[in-house]
Amino acid sequence: MSTPPVERRFERAFFVFGLRRGGNHALAEWLKGHFAADEVLHLNNARLAAFDVREAAIRFDDGEHAAVTPTAAQRILLVGYENVDFLRFPAAQNFQIARRCDWLVLLRDLPNMAASICRSARERPDFVWRHRLRDFPELWSMYARRFLAAAGGARYVSFNRWFAEEAYRRELAAALKLEFTDRGLNAISAVGGGSSFDGLAFDGRAQAMPVLERWPEYLDDSLFRCLVLAERESLARNAELFGNFPYSFDELLARGR
């Protein structure tokens, strides 16, 4: 039986996929900054599901966003997905929800993500367990493989370049047909407790956070080495994608002996 069509409810829709502690909320805040606050319906951490429109409400998944009724002003839909296989996203069905839909996959470099997870694990171990950060090595490897292959038709976004380079953000805005602004760049979302290192302390000045320099503090941490070394090819892929970590697999392994 064919899937019923989805009624078009929005002018624009952005579907953002990434890994937890990977900058997903930072990118979401930047995207939201291109619109008025009351224009954006932002759904965080949605489950993979086909959308279903019934009268005024939209069913986005069978969990937290089971039934959502957009306001009259909400012409922009922004849905975030974390720690899921984005190639299982039912794009053909869900892209009917808006006149234009953009599918983005965000990836942050391996060592700095691992450091953020280590920080969370030391201070909030329940958070790490509850939000599947234990699956990080396998998920990062999967995302990196697909990032390098440009698989699936999504637009791949390097968090490192997005954070560091205005020119890269301008290119992304142009590709998304947005009038460039960095109005949302320095906002820190309260979702997930903010930064693993700084919480919400840098809200309004997020660019001052050393998010690309977290790993040196954890270089000799056993959990950090476990996360980084769990997938043999990940450091090589990280070097190809980001080139910002001076240790090979064997060199980092030797530090733990």
Contact of 27 with 157, CB cutoff 8 Å? yes
Residue in the structure block whose two tokens are 């069978």: 62
Long-range contacts of 205-214 (CB under 8 A, 24+ apart): 206/26, 207/163, 211/23, 211/112, 211/163, 212/109, 212/112, 212/160, 212/163, 212/164, 212/244, 213/112, 214/111, 214/112, 214/115, 214/116, 214/119
Could you tell me the pLDDT band of residue 127, with boundaries at 50, 70 and 90?
low
Hey, which bits of the chain come out as E strands? 10-18, 40-43, 52-54, 57-59, 76-82, 98-107, 155-158
Please give the pLDDT value at position 184: 74
User: If you average pLDDT over residues 79-89, what whole number do you get?
Assistant: 95
| Residue 198 pLDDT grade (very low, low, confident, very high; cuts 50, 70, 90) | very low
Residue whose C-alpha is closest to residue 109's, from 40, 212, 216, 20: 212
Segment 5-42, tens digit of pLDDT: 667 899 999 999 999 889 898 999 999 999 999 999 99
CA–CA separation, 32 and 182 (whole Å): 10
Q: Which residue has the higher pLDDT, 69 or 190?
A: 69
* pTM score of the predicted model: 0.89
* Mean pLDDT in residue range 163-187: 91
Mean pLDDT of 136-154: 93
Residue 1 pLDDT class (50, 70, 90 cuts):
very low
Q: What is the dihedral of CA 172, 29, 198, 251, to 10 degrees?
A: -30
Percent of the chain with pLDDT over 70: 84
Distance CA 181, CA 34 (A): 6
pLDDT at 231: 94
Measured CA to CA, the distance from residue 51 to residue 5 in angstroms comes to: 9
* Tens-place pLDDT, residues 231-248: 999 999 999 999 978 999
Say yes or no to pLDDT of 129 above 70.
no
Predicted confidence at residue 187, as pLDDT, reads 57
Q: Cα separation of 223 and 214, whole Å?
A: 14
Q: Does the pLDDT value for residue 4 go beyond 80?
A: no
Q: Are the C-beta atoms of 84 and 16 separated by less than 8 Å?
A: no
Taking only the tens place, the pLDDT of each residue in 91-116 is 999 999 999 999 999 999 999 999 98
Residue 14: which residues within 8 A CB-CB, separation 6 or more? Answer: 31, 76, 77, 78, 79, 101, 102, 104, 176
